[in-house]
């Protein structure tokens, strides 16, 4: 199995649908707790319009509060060259450029067609290269679209094969609605790996239909080397009706059990997730977090 890194996306995708806003200090405190735990990378915010996605309004302040060393492990979501520029000028070193494979979702999400987003991509690539920042191509609705249903896998292949993406070293395949199955995930990740073997493949899954962990493991088995999760299964896309929370970070940690993870570290992550969801008034969907609170304490992962 390919060595895999975990990226926690709580502070971006996880917060998008929450009604309660988190202050900059709270976000920075959580980011540092997750980084200190050993989690490889974080999404810390998005260059999204505050009137459209209010929880992302203080992203620039979060970037400014983190150290350059911390920012080396943090990612910021963008959808336009201007967003890439603003994030990097604020100090971000890793930036995602997101577009949807589905035209309908791309228009609902960022107000333009997929081709219009692709046409703007070279400007973002050039700016990131000049600034010495890493740029990642994130493909939302890579499996299904809330407006059109199933997405043709060839559309994904065409996007990653497009010459305008040639200089981007990694691509994120997003099961935005959590409707994919492990077989579908394996097939698409393998096709993308075969077409662009030099690229890092990231899998971003949601757990809407209960297959978040299974889909993530399927992606890893065929070449994904980074996977996304959010504390307590928090999150969803405000422009994708029917989408629910991300695959839980706690569930992924328990399933993957990376070498740095110990029961005390796991307990700390579970505690951080529980506190956050309590503060937000959100349901904790993590099954591993529930298991960790079991009264059967013979199992070392029970805290």
Q: For residue 98, indicate whether it is catalytic.
A: no
| Of residues 282, 257, 284, 255, the one with CA closest to residue 270 | 284
Q: What are residue 240's phi and psi, to 5 degrees?
A: -130, 85
Residues 74, 98, 174, 237: which is the catalytic one? 237
Q: How many Cβ atoms are within 10 Å of 24's Cβ, its own excluded? A: 17
Q: Do residues 142 and 151 lie in contact, with contact meaning Cβ atoms separated by under 8 Å?
A: yes
Query: What SS3 class is residue 202?
Result: strand
Q: How far, in Å, CA of 218 to CA of 37, rounded?
A: 25
Q: Do residues 231 and 283 lie in contact, with contact meaning Cβ atoms separated by under 8 Å?
A: no
Q: How far, in Å, CA of 74 to CA of 108, rounded?
A: 27
User: CA-CA-CA-CA torsion for 100, 17, 288, 173, nearest 10 degrees?
Assistant: 10
| Of residues 229, 173, 257, the one with CA closest to residue 1 | 257
Active site residues: 237
């Amino acid at each position: 199995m390919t060595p895999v890194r975990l990226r926690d996306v709580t502070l971006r995708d996880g917060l998008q649908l929450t009604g309660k806003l988190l202050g900059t200090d709270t976000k920075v405190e959580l980011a540092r707790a997750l980084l200190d735990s050993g989690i490889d990378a974080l999404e810390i915010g998005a260059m999204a319009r505050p009137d459209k996605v209010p929880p992302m309004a203080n992203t620039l302040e979060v970037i400014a509060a983190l150290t350059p060393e911390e920012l080396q492990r943090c990612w910021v979501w963008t959808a336009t060259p201007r967003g890439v520029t603003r994030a990097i000028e604020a100090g971000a070193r890793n930036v995602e450029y997101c577009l949807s494979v589905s035209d309908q979702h791309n228009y609902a999400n960022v107000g333009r067609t997929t081709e219009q987003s692709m046409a703007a991509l070279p400007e973002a690539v050039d700016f990131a290269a000049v600034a010495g920042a890493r740029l990642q191509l994130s493909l939302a609705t890579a499996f299904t679209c809330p407006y059109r249903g199933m997405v043709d896998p060839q559309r994904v292949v065409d996007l990653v094969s497009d010459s305008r993406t040639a200089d981007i070293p990694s691509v994120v395949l997003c099961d935005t609605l959590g409707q994919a199955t492990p077989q579908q995930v394996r097939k698409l990740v393998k096709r993308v790996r075969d077409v662009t073997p030099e690229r890092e493949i990231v899998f971003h899954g949601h757990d809407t239909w209960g297959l978040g962990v299974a889909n993530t493991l399927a992606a890893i088995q065929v070449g994904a080397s980074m996977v996304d999760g959010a504390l307590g299964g928090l999150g969803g896309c405000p422009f994708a009706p029917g989408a629910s929370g991300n695959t839980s970070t706690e569930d992924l940690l328990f399933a993957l059990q990376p070498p740095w993870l110990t029961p005390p570290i796991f307990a700390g992550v579970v505690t951080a997730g529980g506190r956050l969801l309590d503060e937000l008034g959100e349901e904790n969907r993590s099954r591993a977090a529930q298991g960790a609170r079991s009264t059967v304490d013979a199992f070392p992962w029970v805290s």
